[in-house]
């Protein structure tokens, strides 16, 4: 395995294929968790649905036990931004939640998150989720066309800032990351524009791109459980995430069943699978 940038793990084509295996398990597990997100279900029910898919695939959760995290996925509801611990909370009609989960297969990791609205959506919550997802895809498209990792945050920020209507905030305390033989690796992947350009985008780079947007202030705090992050003003939040690989012939969204083809086509990007 070659290391061209200090701290960054660059993958071979075969290693990216192994990450794709993990990514597809994550995608199927998120499908199950999203299907379980109905009014009357508990957040623990979503965790169980996700875990059942991992067990069937023989995959290992990369969340459970991570620095003591007690569950298979993070389920963050309404004002909860990230790292919500599944439990007895009963989902209500109109809740907006982010389900964030991952797994490893043969030591290679995948990580993905989806925004979900239970039942009938508040139009502003639907807008929040739609903009967050679209911002993620614009960040992924920037990875395909850009020169440096900082181009991803620039693209996300530019898009969010351009959306008509009440401004949405981009969280700055929590960002994307490299991924491979560990779930969290260098480099950090910012979701906002800065003067820092970041490392060069090169084949073998694998990133988790995950914008987190809020309807109000970007100020957050951590609850007494030492995990759950909430907005200090109680405004609602949303997260979307995919694991994406760069290889010699293009990019490949490892946690999307179609490799990202449908969502990237309108942005002028055609993902290239290695299989």
Bond prior to 187 in cis (omega within 30° of 0): yes
CA–CA separation, 153 and 136 (whole Å): 10
Q: What SS3 state is found at 158? A: helix
Closest residue by Cα to residue 15 from 102, 103, 110, 113:
110
Is 257 annotated in a binding site? The answer is no
Is 241 annotated in a binding site? The answer is yes
E-assigned strand segments in the chain: 60-61, 73-77, 80-82, 96-105, 108-117, 169-170, 176-178, 185-189, 206-209, 212-214, 220-222, 229-231, 237-239, 242-247, 250-253
> Taking the CB of residue 87, how many other CB atoms lie within 10 A of it?
13
Is 177 annotated in a binding site? The answer is yes
DSSP 210: -
Is 133 annotated in a binding site? The answer is no
CA–CA separation, 245 and 253 (whole Å): 6
* Angle of CA points 255, 261, 267, to nearest 5°: 115
DSSP 69: -
What angle do the packed helices 43-57 and 13-36 form, to 10 degrees?
A: 140
Q: What SS3 state is found at 220? A: strand
Is 100 annotated in a binding site? The answer is yes
Is 83 annotated in a binding site? The answer is yes
Is 196 annotated in a binding site? The answer is no
In the annotated binding site for a divalent metal cation, the residues are 100, 111, 177, 210, 241
In the annotated binding site for substrate, the residues are 83, 184
In the annotated binding site, the residues are 83, 100, 111, 177, 184, 210, 241
């Amino acid at each position: 395995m070659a290391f061209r940038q200090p701290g960054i793990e660059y993958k071979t084509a075969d290693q990216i294929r192994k990450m794709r295996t993990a990514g597809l398990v994550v995608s199927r597990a998120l499908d199950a968790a999203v299907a379980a997100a109905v009014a009357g279900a508990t957040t623990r029910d979503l965790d169980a649905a996700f875990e059942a898919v991992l067990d069937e695939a023989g995959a290992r959760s990369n969340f459970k036990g991570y620095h003591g995290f007690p569950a298979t996925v993070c389920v963050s509801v309404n004002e909860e931004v990230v790292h919500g611990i599944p439990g007895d909370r009963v989902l209500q009609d109109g809740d907006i939640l982010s389900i964030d989960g991952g797994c490893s297969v043969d030591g290679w990791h995948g990580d993905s998150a989806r925004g979900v609205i239970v039942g009938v959506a508040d139009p502003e919550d639907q807008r929040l989720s739609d903009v967050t997802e679209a911002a993620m895809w614009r960040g992924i498209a920037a990875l395909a066309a850009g020169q440096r990792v900082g181009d991803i945050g620039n693209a996300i920020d530019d898009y969010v800032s351009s959306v008509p209507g009440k401004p949405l905030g981009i969280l700055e305390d929590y960002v994307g990351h490299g991924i491979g033989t560990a779930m969290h690796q260098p480099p950090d992947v910012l979701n906002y524009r800065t003067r820092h350009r970041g490392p060069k985008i090169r084949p073998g780079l694998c990133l988790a791109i995950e914008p987190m947007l809020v309807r109000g202030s970007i100020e957050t705090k951590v609850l007494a459980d030492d995990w759950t992050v909430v907005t200090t003003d109680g405004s609602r939040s949303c997260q979307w995430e995919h694991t994406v690989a760069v290889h010699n012939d293009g990019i490949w969204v490892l946690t999307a069943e179609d490799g990202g083809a449908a969502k990237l086509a309108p942005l002028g990007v055609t993902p290239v699978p290695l299989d």
